[in-house]
Amino acid sequence: MRSGPMAYLPPDETYVVLENSLEPEGVSWLYRNPTRIIECRDPDQLAASLAALQDAVSNGAYAAGLFSYEAGYVLEPRLRGKLPRTMAHPLMWFGLFDRRDRLSRSQLDNFWQDQCRGREGSLGQFSALVAQSDYLDNIRTIQNYLAAGDVYQVNYTFPMSAQAEGHPSAIHVQLRQAQPVAWGAYIQTPDMTISSHSPELFFEKRHDDFCLRPMKGTAARGRWPAEDDAQHQQLVDDAKSQAENLMIVDLERNDLSKLAVPGSVTVPTLFEAETYRSVIQMTSTVTGKVVPETGIVDIISALFPCGSVTGAPKIRAMEIIHELEVSPRGIY
């Protein structure tokens, strides 16, 4: 058994892995042995929980965790009444840690090999939790909203379900092999296990430099190199994908401007096509400099939830999502 962060972790231990399984030189982080957990299920306590998180980080703690999509309802007074009465997951959950372990790509692969030793896991076929007829009705409703100018873009989704067997870490490893991404995460607590495989960066803050990388516009990979190149170019040139992407870029520029030094918000790249295992994604980059005293409460209040998972305008899109989707999004 390897020592340090490579050691096998007990099945009941709380830990978080923020992983880059896409890039050979990518860096990942392991957080274990939390000194404290900040968990909020009461919307009236979200502001206090955010303040406690900010205070802990300001005093040197490392924090790793999650927000539920519905935390956005709490942050926006016009949406507060749309909060569900009960939710399967907390509005926010963060572990506070005294240290974190930096993992290279090879160390990350070895870590998961250790965690899966003697463990197996499998996922059955996924099935949609919405009837096709209801799905089509909802699409027509959205089209009517668009035609009326009530909204410009809606990120309508539906949940899917599959039978899981075995240990979650083994299932996570299968998923990360099928969909390598730069922004993956695995969170294990006594109450929940989250396996996340998102290719999209919501935001990154390094000192006073801020970066958002919204994705809108998708194409399937080609079956051979020439077809793949053609798919790539077709996505880059597609006017509809460009329009969808630009709407979210403008939304996120506006959101970031609430935090940024005046005149610092820029779009250094627009309509880039990034290639992943099964899809090609149109991605743009929005950057800016934020004032030094900008904290977690300011950032989450201004940006959350990400415009690429709502649509535009954000608040109206969220109202339509609440109207049409069959269940709370939760950890999204």
- What tens-digit pLDDT sequence spans the chain (332 residues)? 343 444 567 667 999 999 999 999 999 999 999 999 999 999 999 999 999 999 999 999 999 999 999 999 999 999 999 999 888 999 999 999 999 999 999 999 999 999 999 999 999 999 999 999 999 999 999 999 999 999 999 999 999 999 999 999 999 999 999 999 999 999 999 999 999 999 999 999 999 999 999 999 999 999 999 999 999 999 999 999 999 999 999 999 999 999 999 999 999 999 999 999 999 999 999 999 998 889 999 999 999 999 999 999 999 999 999 999 999 999 98
Q: Please identify which of the residues 19, 70, 216, 244 carries the catalytic annotation.
A: 216
- Report helix angle 239-257 to 296-303, nearest 10: 140
In angstroms, the CA 100 to CA 114 distance is: 18
Same domain, 159 and 235: no
Q: Is 200 part of the annotated catalytic residue set?
A: yes
Asked if residue 24 belongs to a domain, the reply is: yes
Answer yes or no: do 193 and 210 share one domain. Answer: no
Supply the CATH number for residue 192's domain: 3.60.120.10
Domain that holds residue 287: 201-305
Residue 48, domain member (yes or no): yes
Domain assignment present for residue 329? The answer is no
- The answer to whether residues 195 and 208 belong to one domain is no
Shared domain for 52 and 137, answered yes or no, is yes
| Domains of the chain: total | 2
Which of 181, 200, 219 is the last residue in one of the domains? Answer: 200
Active-site annotation holds for 216:
yes
Domain annotation covers residue 311: no
28 shares its domain with 80: yes
**Looking at the DSSP assignment, which residues form a beta bridge with residue 185?**
18, 196
CA distance 167 to 254: 43
Q: Which of 176, 200, 224 is the last residue of a domain?
A: 200
Apex 133 CA angle, 129 and 138, nearest 5 = 85
184/256 same-domain check:
no
User: What's the pTM?
Assistant: 0.93
* Claim to verify: residue 134 and residue 240 sit in the same structural domain: no
Residue 67 lies in a domain: yes
Residues 230 and 173 in one domain: no
User: What are 50's two structure tokens?
Assistant: 């955010």
Do 263 and 141 lie in a common domain?
no
- Do 238 and 148 reside in the same domain of the chain? no
- Token pair of 218, please? 């998708």
From the candidates 19, 200, 244, 252, which is the catalytic residue? Answer: 200
